[in-house]
Amino acid sequence: MEKPCGCLSLDMHQPVPIPLPSPEREIISSRIFHWSKEKIFAAWSDPDWLQKWWGPKGFTNTFHVFDFTPGGHWKLTMHGPEKGNYENESVFQEIIPGELIYWHRLTQPYFNVVVTFEKVDDDHTKLVFRMIFPSEEGRAKVIQFVPAANEENFDRLEQVLKQMP
């Protein structure tokens, strides 16, 4: 069983610095959206919107805690479309409104996430979702399904952005 090590801190009170790029331990997904950075950031930072789109196609979510502040916890249950409930817990490490969200996952599979929002022009934003695993083995366990699941997540985000004011 893999333990949180390398890029992950075991001390919940110590911030975890953003890891340096390490392609053999990362999965990076990105998309250009036809909305401003501010609107896309709002879809991430507001739990009412986030729970509507978080996860692959067919998943629903129950948020237990969503403290969107550095050091704040995010605890949720992802409910699979056919069966299964998946408990997730993370701690937000750094948040720069409209620019960056960085969290440290406390439940398996262990990884850190760095989300960046890059202005392409006034109406377009490039979203980069970077998952950083503590080892190549950790990445290898999920690489077969995570890229497609991340694309489904982006598809769901796209639909919610159309609904937002």
8 vs 112: CA distance, rounded Å: 7
Torsion from C-alpha of 71, 92, 46, 85, nearest 10 degrees: -110
Strand partners, 96: 100
Query: The pTM is what?
Result: 0.90
Among the residue ranges 10-24, 53-67, 95-109, 145-159, the one predicted with the least confidence is 10-24
Fold of 26-163: Alpha-D-Glucose-1,6-Bisphosphate; Chain A, domain 4 (3.30.530)
**pLDDT higher than threshold 80 for residue 40:** yes
pLDDT digits (tens, 9 = 90+) for 62-118: 999 999 999 999 999 999 998 899 999 999 999 999 999 999 999 999 999 999 999
3-state secondary structure of 71: coil
Place of tokens 């069983």: 1
pLDDT computed for residue 11 by the predictor: 47
Q: What residues does each domain of the chain span? A: 26-163
pLDDT computed for residue 17 by the predictor: 82
Place of tokens 């409104």: 97
99 vs 37: CA distance, rounded Å: 8
